[in-house]
Chains A and B, each alone.
Chain A
């Protein structure tokens, strides 16, 4: 028996862009039937490496081998023809077309005179869908499918060729737990067929559940490959960021001040009902729950983006009506929104201008914006938050996710808010910056800020919060102090198990 040869091997890949050595001699090999995790912080070179593999960038030096045969990749189409397919994080489907048309897009089976052979198309598609074991058929309009099912269509597209290697780029970013299970099953099926899989993700939990080996990149350099069974999250993290990450419970105790914000019986249609809570100065209050539990909607209501049907909002004991973000800002409420790229930042603007945007009217000398005042604010928060950028004039879109998020946080801290709401503070942010943002939030609490943190990541909520509110389906299910909360009772509270008790108990 001969030793199996890798389905895919990259050797000594170097890729430079003007001023940046994006990949510095990266090697990687994927064996048949292996799930190989590719990890690294944002900007470590994962995407560049995949673009080299997909023929979008030509490497300066280095070789790609498919089944040990040297290959030059020129385009994603050609890569696909060679059996290397990509499942992207951002789906590239045509919503208005059927599942079948999407799967065979560009290679529809034809009859004479260029007519589409619909019978064959639907038959072929259904055959593929059968192997994926999904609950929709070839004629379904893609726009009517859930995100998870759309992802299945993407995967189906990969299966039209007999793939040797499939690359998954953050496939679970928008999937629910149940949907993940289905995805993992598909990956396992591919594995048994001898397909090699590259799995890119930030989520340690998944990596340890489904991968065989883990390769780590840092600053464009290959840092090593670990066998998943023999390593630990800590070891991987160290390889990624050069140190380990602290995700211990929040046990800090500092004195809390007066009640800064009180919410009584707040309702907003179907989104949330009868929400009441109080937040003290110096306190970090975590909101935990599934996506759609109503947490973001509460934040948006407090920030004047939604109008409540009923209920009161009290700031420092005074009832306030908040009808627009302008009002909210005037009352000292700040919101770091969940969607950084669409809601948090003007990506084409520079760092300074983004940071000073909410208070630009106040930073004037005569009728003009005062350059000095603006730069002073930027410099202050750049140092305080350790924002790494070549200068204030750098376009925000060019920064890493972590630094972008710090710009948004700096923007709202500079408003000296009475209440700071942070929605998904570390979404899409690499491990190293994550720790910094966690520390920052805890520091803000210690400095006397009243902070609300909304997060879907349990370790994060447990790590930063003094108190946690668990939500399910628009209702506050339970409130925990950091002493009494456990992972188990938190999961129960947000999954609706307590909801039934709640109803029965009444």
Chain B
């Protein structure tokens, strides 16, 4: 193996590291527990990743556009509570569009602040995380929200139904992934998102309306949150006010794990889906190994730090550099 220097190995590891690490994990889990690779387990993992996954699709647009969105977890709680509450008041057929409208309004407000007002997205969405949580509690009066007639509503189809044997959440997640994947990679809008995130000034100098593009990424993110809220509400038909709490970080983790740069301008929907699945399978594997569920918090974050390190390492072409 001529030319495969120590630095060369480092570079390969840095580029493909996360996939290699994932493969090692998968093989290890499979050897440790046969059930891990059973079809129903795999389908179960994808299904339980669907809500996180749908949110991650939207956040991918925001991150590629060069911003953060830490409000999605709290916003998902809002959507869930609102749609459950309105379900009994307006009926499901009106509750769903009403919830989408309200969630999109929140997204538009964030998009306005970050895009047009040019405020720092970290601060805005961190603030909105807290503000929306307050809004949710105000709406619910702090109580859990439940649908009165759980057996008699068709509303459960989104979270619990199956089409041709495939769970509906999986279909929605993958369907949305395909549509948004194409939007990002094949349309002028998608190209502009990359340009704005890659170099906002150059995008402006090329006649791209930077503020509007940023605004639209937040609108897309809130749309995905609304879908996630719908899935969540429909699956459980009742919910606490804190159902989405902490998910913003898991979502960000999946996006970064997929390889999108937090500096903006890079990443793909496909990679985000991979990131979501990695996260889901690792959590599932740990549970199957009999570890308490809270161990997954530690392991998940260890993996994310590994991913960020490998991302930086890939850019400088070696794992460790004394300078820069």
Q: Is A376 an interface residue (CB 8 A)?
A: no
Chain A 330-365 per-residue mask, 1 if CB under 8 angstroms from chain B, else 0:
000001010000111111110001000110110110
B191 adjacent to A76 (CB under 8 Å): no
Query: What residues of B have a CB within 8 angstroms of the CB of A345 in the complex?
Result: 199, 202
Query: What residues of A have a CB within 8 angstroms of the CB of B191 in the complex?
Result: 353, 357, 360, 369
Select from chain A the residue with minimum beta-carbon distance to B8: A18
B186 adjacent to A343 (CB under 8 Å): no
Query: What residues of A have a CB within 8 angstroms of the CB of B199 in the complex?
Result: 342, 345-348
Tell which of A75, A76, A337, A348 touches B205, judged by Cβ atoms closer than 8 Å.
A337
The complex places the Cα of A326 from the Cα of B205 at a distance, in Å, of 9
B205 adjacent to A369 (CB under 8 Å): no
B266 adjacent to A348 (CB under 8 Å): yes
In residues 189-203 of chain B, which contact A (Cβ within 8 Å)? 191-192, 194-195, 198-199, 201-203
Tell which of A56, A329, A343, A368 touches B202, judged by Cβ atoms closer than 8 Å.
A343
Q: Is A325 an interface residue (CB 8 A)?
A: yes
Q: Is B138 an interface residue (CB 8 A)?
A: no
Q: Is A411 an interface residue (CB 8 A)?
A: yes
Tell which of B195, B209, B266, B322 touches A326, judged by Cβ atoms closer than 8 Å.
B209
In residues 7-29 of chain A, which contact B (Cβ within 8 Å)? 18
Query: What residues of A have a CB within 8 angstroms of the CB of B172 in the complex?
Result: none
Q: Is A106 an interface residue (CB 8 A)?
A: no
B201 adjacent to A357 (CB under 8 Å): no
Query: What residues of A have a CB within 8 angstroms of the CB of B201 in the complex?
Result: 342-343
Q: Is A114 an interface residue (CB 8 A)?
A: no
In residues 21-41 of chain B, which contact A (Cβ within 8 Å)? none
Tell which of B187, B194, B207, B323 touches A349, judged by Cβ atoms closer than 8 Å.
B194
Q: Is A505 an interface residue (CB 8 A)?
A: no
Q: Is B208 an interface residue (CB 8 A)?
A: yes
A368 adjacent to B186 (CB under 8 Å): yes
B203 adjacent to A347 (CB under 8 Å): no
Q: Is B188 an interface residue (CB 8 A)?
A: yes
Tell which of B188, B198, B207, B208 touches A348, judged by Cβ atoms closer than 8 Å.
B198
Query: What residues of A have a CB within 8 angstroms of the CB of B182 in the complex?
Result: 368
The complex places the Cα of A335 from the Cα of B187 at a distance, in Å, of 25
CB distance from A122 to the nearest CB of B (A): 29
Query: What residues of A have a CB within 8 angstroms of the CB of B323 in the complex?
Result: 56, 75-76
A346 adjacent to B195 (CB under 8 Å): yes
The complex places the Cα of A347 from the Cα of B187 at a distance, in Å, of 20
Query: What residues of A have a CB within 8 angstroms of the CB of B207 in the complex?
Result: 324-326, 328-329, 358
The complex places the Cα of A329 from the Cα of B265 at a distance, in Å, of 24
Q: Is A367 an interface residue (CB 8 A)?
A: yes
Query: What residues of B have a CB within 8 angstroms of the CB of A343 in the complex?
Result: 201-202, 205
The complex places the Cα of A106 from the Cα of B84 at a distance, in Å, of 60
Chain B 4-18 per-residue mask, 1 if CB under 8 angstroms from chain A, else 0:
000010000000000
In this complex, the interface size class of chain B, counting residues with CB under 8 Å from chain A, is 20 to 34
Query: What residues of B have a CB within 8 angstroms of the CB of A305 in the complex?
Result: 204-205
A357 adjacent to B195 (CB under 8 Å): yes
A349 adjacent to B198 (CB under 8 Å): yes
Of A75, A353, A361, A363, the most chain B CB neighbours within 10 A belong to A361
Chain A 431-457 per-residue mask, 1 if CB under 8 angstroms from chain B, else 0:
000000000000000000000000000
Query: What residues of A have a CB within 8 angstroms of the CB of B202 in the complex?
Result: 342-346
Select from chain A the residue with minimum beta-carbon distance to B209: A326
Select from chain A the residue with minimum beta-carbon distance to B188: A360
B195 adjacent to A368 (CB under 8 Å): no
Q: How many residues of A contact B (CB 8 A)?
A: 32
With A76-B323, A325-B207, A357-B208 already in contact, the answer to whether A367 and B187 are too (CB < 8 A) is: yes
Select from chain A the residue with minimum beta-carbon distance to B11: A18
The complex places the Cα of A346 from the Cα of B265 at a distance, in Å, of 9
Query: What residues of B have a CB within 8 angstroms of the CB of A335 in the complex?
Result: 205
Of B8, B188, B203, B205, the most chain A CB neighbours within 10 A belong to B205
B206 adjacent to A358 (CB under 8 Å): yes
Query: What residues of B have a CB within 8 angstroms of the CB of A346 in the complex?
Result: 194-195, 198-199, 202-203, 265
Chain A 383-399 per-residue mask, 1 if CB under 8 angstroms from chain B, else 0:
00000000000000000
B205 adjacent to A349 (CB under 8 Å): no
Select from chain B the residue with minimum beta-carbon distance to A60: B5
Query: What residues of B have a CB within 8 angstroms of the CB of A324 in the complex?
Result: 207
The complex places the Cα of A373 from the Cα of B111 at a distance, in Å, of 32
B204 adjacent to A325 (CB under 8 Å): yes
CB distance from A439 to the nearest CB of B (A): 25
Query: What residues of B have a CB within 8 angstroms of the CB of A368 in the complex?
Result: 182, 186-187
Of A18, A347, A348, the most chain B CB neighbours within 10 A belong to A348
Query: What residues of A have a CB within 8 angstroms of the CB of B203 in the complex?
Result: 346, 357
Query: What residues of A have a CB within 8 angstroms of the CB of B187 in the complex?
Result: 364, 367-369
CB distance from B294 to the nearest CB of A (A): 38
Query: What residues of A have a CB within 8 angstroms of the CB of B204 in the complex?
Result: 305, 325
A369 adjacent to B188 (CB under 8 Å): yes
B206 adjacent to A357 (CB under 8 Å): yes
The complex places the Cα of A335 from the Cα of B204 at a distance, in Å, of 12
Query: What residues of B have a CB within 8 angstroms of the CB of A328 in the complex?
Result: 207
B192 adjacent to A360 (CB under 8 Å): yes
The complex places the Cα of A337 from the Cα of B205 at a distance, in Å, of 8
Select from chain A the residue with minimum beta-carbon distance to B202: A346
A349 adjacent to B188 (CB under 8 Å): no
Query: What residues of B have a CB within 8 angstroms of the CB of A364 in the complex?
Result: 187-188
Query: What residues of B have a CB within 8 angstroms of the CB of A344 in the complex?
Result: 202, 205
The complex places the Cα of A360 from the Cα of B201 at a distance, in Å, of 17
B206 adjacent to A411 (CB under 8 Å): yes
B322 adjacent to A75 (CB under 8 Å): yes
The complex places the Cα of A218 from the Cα of B201 at a distance, in Å, of 34
CB distance from A209 to the nearest CB of B (A): 33
A361 adjacent to B188 (CB under 8 Å): yes
Query: What residues of A have a CB within 8 angstroms of the CB of B195 in the complex?
Result: 346, 349, 353, 357
The complex places the Cα of A357 from the Cα of B265 at a distance, in Å, of 14
The complex places the Cα of A364 from the Cα of B201 at a distance, in Å, of 24
Select from chain A the residue with minimum beta-carbon distance to B261: A348
Query: What residues of B have a CB within 8 angstroms of the CB of A349 in the complex?
Result: 194-195, 198, 265
CB distance from A315 to the nearest CB of B (A): 16
In residues 453-492 of chain A, which contact B (Cβ within 8 Å)? none
Select from chain B the residue with minimum beta-carbon distance to A347: B199
Select from chain A the residue with minimum beta-carbon distance to B182: A368
List 29 A–B pairs whose Cβ atoms lie within 8 Å, in order of A's numbering: A18-B8, A75-B323, A76-B323, A305-B205, A325-B207, A328-B207, A335-B205, A342-B199, A342-B201, A343-B202, A344-B202, A344-B205, A345-B202, A346-B203, A348-B198, A348-B199, A349-B194, A353-B191, A353-B194, A353-B195, A358-B206, A358-B207, A358-B208, A360-B188, A360-B191, A361-B188, A364-B188, A367-B187, A369-B186
Q: Which 6 A-B pairs have the closest CB atoms?
A: A346-B198, A346-B199, A329-B207, A357-B206, A368-B186, A360-B188
Contacts A76-B323, A358-B208 known; 4 new A-B pairs at CB < 8 A: A75-B322, A342-B199, A346-B265, A353-B195
